[in-house]
């Protein structure tokens, strides 16, 4: 793919990204839960 940069990171980067991905999964679950309960009001 064009515009791809490979970054060799310290091993601590794995912990950092795993935390970001955990937070992301939790946000997704929260939105799904709120959406299914009708708690999110939308406007155009």
Partner 1 sequence: MYEFNILEGENRPLFFFTTDNGYTYNVSFNPHVYKIEGITDISQVDVICLDNENPKKDIKVGKTICAIIEHFLSQNKERIVGYICDTQDKREESRNRKFYNWYRIHNNGGYTLKNYEIRPNQTNEVYYTAVIYHPEAYLDQFIDDTYGREMKELEDK
Q: Which positions touch partner 1 (CB under 8 A)? A: 1, 3-14, 16-17, 19-21, 23-25, 27-28, 31-32, 35-36, 39-44
Q: How far apart are CA 27 and CA 31, in angstroms?
A: 6
Q: How far apart are CA 26 and CA 34, in angstroms?
A: 12
Find the shortest distance in angstroms from Cβ 36 to partner 1: 8
Q: What angle do CA 6, 24, 1 make, to 5 degrees?
A: 30
Find the shortest distance in angstroms from Cβ 42 to partner 1: 4
């Amino acid at each position: 793919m064009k515009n791809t940069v490979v970054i060799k990171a310290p091993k601590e980067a794995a912990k950092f990204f795993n935390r970001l991905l955990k937070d992301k999964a939790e946000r997704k679950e929260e939105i799904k839960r709120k959406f299914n309960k009708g708690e999110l009001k939308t406007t155009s």
